[in-house]
Structure 1
Amino acid sequence: MYIEFFVNVTSKAWALPILSSLHAGIPGRQATLLTATGASRTSFAQSMEHLIELGLLERNPGHGHPLRPEFRLTEFGKESAAIAHKINSVSQGEDQDLLRRAWTLPVLASLHTPGHFNDIRRSLLTITDRALSQSLKSMESRNWVHRSVNVDARPPRPIYSAINTGGRICQITAPEISFMQR
């Protein structure tokens, strides 16, 4: 399922910026990627190992020093990096911290159509109520998600929909459903 892919990729904070930077043409060496992303060395190393485990990156054989390896995107990684670059280019600098949070992108990917809290939770099997609630609140405070209450329902229930930057990210992830379901 494509949402599981977003959950896996975004479980490490710097994975999306690394993929986006590689797609933008930044060389696949540690120093240049560290500068481009602004990540700490430890977080960067964890994110790189994670991307290698997911099969999105690989060491570039024959290039780089053993202590300073060079990385390149795999074929699946190239397609994923293009999506990451589109998503990263939508948000502004101050919103990048929200985009690096683990559940932001998966929650937005599940909001292609407005939904209730439980509908979102069902589409994200491993999320806790608390994590979903905090994610929705943080996106609502940045105007990425709009919360409206359906007063006709008994009891009244809030409906969440992606707006502004969140809506644009939803539009980017929507056509990728078929790509992710391979």
Structure 2
Amino acid sequence: MNISFLVNITSKAWSLKILALLHTGTPGRQAPLLAACGASRSSFTASLNHLAELGLLERNPGHGHPLRPEFKLTLAGEIAASMAHRIIDIVPNDEAFDVIRRSWAVPVLAVTETPQRFSSIKTGLVGITDRALSQSLYLLEDHHWIKREIDVTERSPRPIYQAINTGKAINQAINLELSM
């Protein structure tokens, strides 16, 4: 799994939660997944369809009603679900889960294992805008998941960002899969 695929997975708010639930044995039918997820029906459906489009889920043939199909993880989905389960287990509460539901939070944590400048984070996350990166860094710093320090060794001082605390644990859970 590469970083662009991680960005793709996390682009829908409930994708990680759905994958983690399927990994832990929640039935692949829409009703139990929706109830366990706590998402709105439209957000849940968008995330479920997104995961199917990415090839992480597939319809389980012969099971479920045509309007309420049953889904199962594909081989690639099992790998992603394992990672999602590790990430969800690290998150201590609902407030913290709201942070990782944001589109760029998890990918930003994935690339900040070592101290990184803003520009190198942006380079590592193709497609992220300056504003989205700034907001993600601010949010993660506010929750003490990213540490911001000023590097004064260069001619013009620049901020350096690195994952810490819960952010470091999430980074390690992600990088375990990215290295495979």
> What TM-score comes out, normalization by structure 1 length?
0.96
1:32-43 alignment runs, 5 A limit: 32-43=32-43
Residue of structure 2 equivalent to 1:107: 108
CA RMSD of aligned residues (A): 0.9
- Structure 1 moving runs of 4+ over 3 Å: none
Give 2:156's aligned residue: 155
User: Who is 2:146 aligned against?
Assistant: 145
List gaps (5 residues or longer) in structure 1. none
- State the match for 2:76 in structure 1: 76
Report the number of matched residues.
179
Gaps of 5+ in 2: none
Shift of 1:114: 1.1
Q: How do residues 18-97 of structure 1 correspond to structure 2 at under 5 angstroms?
A: 18-93=18-93, 94-97=95-98
Report % sequence identity: 57
Tell me the CA shift for residue 123 of structure 1. 0.4
Q: Show the counterpart of 1:15.
A: 15
TM-score when normalising by structure 2: 0.97
SS at match of 2:59: strand
Match of 1:124 in 2: 125
2:96 alignment partner, SS class: helix
Matches of 1:122 and 1:107, distance apart in 2: 11
Q: Deviation digits for residues 84-121 of structure 1, max 9, x if unmatched?
A: 00011101222000000000011111112110000100
